Chains A and B, each alone.
Chain A
Amino acid sequence: MDMLAGKVKRTEATINTMATRPDAHTAPDRPIRINAEDVTVHYGAKQALFGISIEIPDRAVTSFIGPSGCGKSTFLRCINRMNDTIEGAKVGGTITLDGENIYDPSLDVVELRARIGMVFQKPNPFPKSIYENVAYGPKIHGLARNKADLDEIVISSLKKAGLFEEVKDRLNEPGTGLSGGQQQRLCIARAIAVGPEVILMDEPCSALDPIATAIIEELIDELRENYTIVIVTHSMQQAARVSQKTAFFHLGKLIEVGPTSDIFTNPVHKQTQDYIMGRIG
């Protein structure tokens, strides 16, 4: 019920956003889902992000690229408030999801994270069975009324993550026993199971071999139909292949953002050009 109500409200918000931002200059055919304005992050005394402003379009893949340590993960974690769990991290500026400020004190972080799922660099399945891994999110959010419901969610999530065929006979075996690529798809299934609208992925393929990577990229391409996806990657090719919009970060600043094809064929800034050509980072 709650979920439904949320959906309705959100749709209205989406329409509003569309109305106020008709240009949406980077992914022209997509409404803006997430809007960050002047976001700064401090880790203790050290400033990691300097005034980041970016718009993230709905149902498209946005990629963050940039040299190591430039703040891609930090910014990604701002979007679902994972920085809250890091002691000493302070976030400034505003980020809105469908026009709603996610740093509003009255906002429920738990609900936010259910709406914005996350997949991490290293596959991190819980030391539980494959089934339990996927079922965990729906359980804590009370998404299933009974066992049959839960089974249904688990199976459809595994299918969406393209893992079901490979694991259907061993749903009760530990998730940690899968291969790295399978584990990562399990983590994607786990994120999908909660029914998020946005999925954040922090270098989801960096621990995987080329074949597993190709599978995940294909998956991302499919998920784009239904989810807003933000992906951090170190691979130019990957950014070019899977994303429609690309943002280039350098030393905590957002240097350039635009349609992926523009960034890769026709970058405006010299730094972007250098990075893409492999001259920095």
Chain B
Amino acid sequence: MTQLNSFIIAALLIVLLGFAYQSGWARSRKLVTANGVKIHSRSQYHGALVAIWVLIPALLILGLWAFFGPNITRAFTVTQIPADVVATLDQPALNAAIQRLQALASGYGVSGDLAPYEQGAGAALRNFQLVTFLIVLAAVAVAGILALLFARSRIDARLRARTHVERIINLLLLACSAVAILTTVGIVASLLTEALRFFTFISPFDFFFGTVWQPNNSGTAGNYGSYGILPLLSGTLMITAIAMLVAVPIGLMAAIYLSQYAHHRLRAFAKPIIEILAGIPTIVFGFLALVTVGPFLRDVGNLVGLDISATSALTAGIVMGIMIIPFVSSLSDDILNQVPRTLRDGAYGLGATKSETIRNVLLPAALPGIVGAFLLAVSRAIGETMIVVLAAGNSPVLRGNPFEPVATITVSIVNQLTGDTDFAGPQSLVAFALGLTLFVITLLLNVFALYIVRRFREQYE
């Protein structure tokens, strides 16, 4: 029923808008032929302006109804329940009764026997909903048509429809970016406030400089456990470092090969394949790490007499590096292609070989951009979760051996938030402090990377 209603309203609005646009357009067209006066705006703008005029009151009415409608309906429903019955009901029971009536009204029916008043009340509610819907519909239509007539009457040669429409578009875009910005601000604010709450339980010093990570998940005051971030931070950094050791050389060389050496037919075929790698869900890489790479590394370790555990910083780091390769290679590829051709020609013209040109001219010129790409890749690696959950072994102990299991910040957030979470104690609140730390690290990296990349762009503009 409600879906149908929304559909009818949307259809009405679209018809109204189309009609409004058409009529504004047609009317302004007439101005053109009549007396040869110079018209300020073209007809499309007049059409669009009329349509916007129609849309605004209609949306206003719908907005008001969306806001007040449910309360009005509820008030009406309560009047349909006999007063003596209402008197016997407490708040939850009243809500339940109202829900039963709404279910009856929508025609789905309810389980259990019907109270004597319910059948009639349901029918009345149904009528009420129909009537209010029609009223809203009519109000939208009337307001729309009035607005249409008004806007239409305003059309004349001097009306600055284009200016108005542009300003409205401007406002619309502003509103959209405001949503994005406000969301970010909101997220940061909630991270901050919750993290501050966490710090009322655990001192920041113990958190940032503590070397033991041992939350006591069922602990109470005085017995919360230790929340030192250093073991997690070291795990994160170790895995990130291994990932970059894998991704940077391979990704960069792949980019150099593809952009400088490969025949264009090979490139047309290889580039998309590499980029498909970027589309593989990280959980699949996690599988790969857990099922294939981990055991393989352990066996190799056995052969050469190294004690490598199947889930370790090494496993997670290598697989994460593979995951990041396409990221590094496609960014570096773009950057290498941005180096002006004239620069390369300059080197070739002096008799430099291909590899000399790449080493001495291309790479130095592209270096800042490539560094920027690497930093972006690092911030991706730091925030990566799924691979680490599956392949790093989740052992939050401070140690420097990449062959042993580690835990990272992201994994610990997952651990602290799965299961019972009431956000009353440090056990779950710590997730916010960890998240905030992660956020600050990646933010700094991104800012730094963007700064470098921008400097690089300016160099050639």
Contact = CB atoms under 8 A, between A and B. Distances in A.
Nearest to B353: A110
A124 interface: yes
Contacts of B353: 110, 140
Contacts of A180: none
A127 B365 contact: yes
A136 interface: yes
Interface string B363-404: 011000000000000000000000000000000000000000
A120 B349 contact: yes
A124 B346 contact: yes
Contacts of A224: none
B344 interface: yes
A252 interface: no
A191 interface: yes
A114 interface: yes
Contacts of B348: 82, 85, 113
B398 to A, nearest CB: 44
A57 to B, nearest CB: 22
B345 interface: yes
A194 B351 contact: yes
A128 B365 CA distance: 9
B459 A194 contact: no
B418 interface: no
A85 B350 contact: no
A229 B344 CA distance: 22
Contact of B264 (A87, A112, A122, A140): A87
Given A82-B345, A87-B264, A136-B360, A124 B350 contact: no
A131 to B, nearest CB: 14
B253 interface: no
B343 interface: yes
B352 interface: yes
Interface residues of B, number: 21
Interface string A175-194: 01000000000010011001
A140 B351 contact: yes
A140 B349 contact: no
B342 interface: yes
A174 to B, nearest CB: 10
Interface in A107-134: 109-114, 117-120, 122, 124-128
Contacts of A125: 346
A128 B347 CA distance: 12
B347 A126 contact: yes
A187 B346 contact: yes
A141 interface: yes
Nearest to A110: B351
A188 B147 CA distance: 71
A119 B345 CA distance: 10
Nearest to A176: B459
Interface of A: 80, 82, 85, 87-88, 109-114, 117-120, 122, 124-128, 136-137, 140-141, 176, 187, 190-191, 194
Given A109-B351, A137-B352, A187-B346, 11 more contacts: A82-B345, A87-B264, A110-B353, A113-B350, A119-B349, A124-B340, A127-B459, A137-B351, A140-B350, A176-B459, A191-B349
